[in-house]
C-alpha cells in the first residue's frame, strides 16, 4: 500500500498554460520577440525556465537569466493566478490527506512560487513539504529531488512511494530512483513520452490516480 504520495505541480495539479504562456510572451517581448504560435510555448511547461529560454530561443547565458527575471516579474505578480485546478484534483488531494497519506510536491518551479500557487488554491496545508529548486538553479533533476526527499524524511521502503506527473522529467525521475511512476495523460506530456521514460501506470483523470492508490 502506498503511504507517501508525490505530486508534480504544473500540468498535474494546475492547468498551467494560461499563466505560463502569458508570462513567457511578456518576457520574450522585452527582447523584441513576438511569438505568434502560442501552442509552441507549451514547451515551457515542465523544464526549467532558463533551459527553455536558452534552448528554444538561442539566448545567451546573460539574456536567459534576464528572461527568467522578466518572466517571474509578471508571473509572481498576477499570472500565477491564471492556473486553475484540474477537475477532481482537489478532492483527490483531500481524500489522500484524510486517509493519512503523506503528500509532497516535487516540481521544477521554485519552492516559494509553488507555495504561492498552492496557497492561492487553499491546498498548501495538505502538503508536508515542497521540493523544488532555488531561484538561482538553472537545471532541475527530479530524481535528485526525490532522493533528497526520501533521505530527509527517512523513507526507506520505496515500494510505498508513488509519483504523479505529466512529463518525462517526472516519470523518469521516479523510475530512476525506484518509486512507482504514474503518468498524467490529462497534462501536457504525450502517452509515448511517458511510456518511453518509465511510467508504470497511465491515468486519464486525477480520480484514476486515486484508484491506483486504493487498490
CATH code for the domain in which residue 58 is found: 1.10.150.240
**Residues 52 and 111 occupy one common structural domain:** no
Cα 95 from chain centroid (whole Å): 20
In a 3-state reduction of DSSP, which class is residue 66? helix
**Residues 23 and 121 occupy one common structural domain:** no
pLDDT of residue 47: 84
**Residues 87 and 77 occupy one common structural domain:** no
Among 31, 63, 81, the domain boundary falls at: 81
Using a pLDDT cut of 70, give the percent of the chain over it.
99
In contact, 14 and 86? CB cutoff 8 Å: yes
- Averaged over 185-193, what is the pLDDT? 96
Among 49, 81, 113, the domain boundary falls at: 81
Q: How many of the other CB atoms lie within 10 Å of CB of 56?
A: 16
Q: pTM for this structure?
A: 0.91
Q: Provide the mean pLDDT of the chain.
A: 95
Residue 11 has pLDDT above 80, yes or no: yes
Contacts 24+ apart (CB under 8 A), 35-42: 42/17, 42/188
Among 45, 60, 81, the domain boundary falls at: 81
Q: State the residue range of the domain holding 184.
A: 4-15+83-214
pLDDT of residue 117: 96
Task: Provide the domain count of the chain.
Answer: 2
Amino acid at each position: 500500500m502506498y503511504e507517501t504520495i508525490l505530486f508534480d505541480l504544473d500540468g498535474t495539479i494546475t492547468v498551467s498554460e494560461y499563466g505560463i504562456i502569458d508570462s513567457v510572451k511578456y518576457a520574450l517581448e522585452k527582447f523584441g520577440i513576438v511569438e505568434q504560435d502560442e501552442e509552441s510555448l507549451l514547451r515551457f511547461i515542465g523544464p526549467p525556465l532558463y533551459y527553455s529560454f536558452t534552448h528554444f530561443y538561442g539566448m545567451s547565458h546573460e539574456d536567459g537569466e534576464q528572461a527568467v527575471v522578466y518572466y517571474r516579474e509578471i508571473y509572481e505578480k498576477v499570472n500565477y493566478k491564471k492556473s486553475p485546478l484540474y477537475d477532481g484534483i482537489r478532492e483527490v488531494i483531500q481524500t489522500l490527506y484524510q486517509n493519512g497519506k503523506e503528500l509532497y510536491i516535487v516540481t521544477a518551479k521554485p519552492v516559494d512560487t509553488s507555495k504561492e500557487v498552492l496557497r492561492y488554491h487553499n491546498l498548501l496545508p495538505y502538503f508536508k513539504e515542497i521540493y523544488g529548486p532555488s531561484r538561482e538553479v538553472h537545471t532541475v533533476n527530479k530524481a535528485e529531488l526525490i532522493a533528497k526527499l526520501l533521505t530527509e524524511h527517512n523513507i526507506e521502503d520505496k515500494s510505498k512511494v508513488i509519483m504523479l506527473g505529466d512529463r518525462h522529467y517526472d516519470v523518469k525521475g521516479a523510475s530512476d530512483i525506484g518509486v512507482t511512476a504514474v503518468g498524467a495523460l490529462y497534462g501536457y506530456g504525450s502517452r509515448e513520452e511517458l511510456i518511453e521514460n518509465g511510467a508504470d501506470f497511465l491515468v486519464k483523470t486525477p480520480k484514476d490516480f486515486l484508484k491506483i492508490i486504493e487498490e
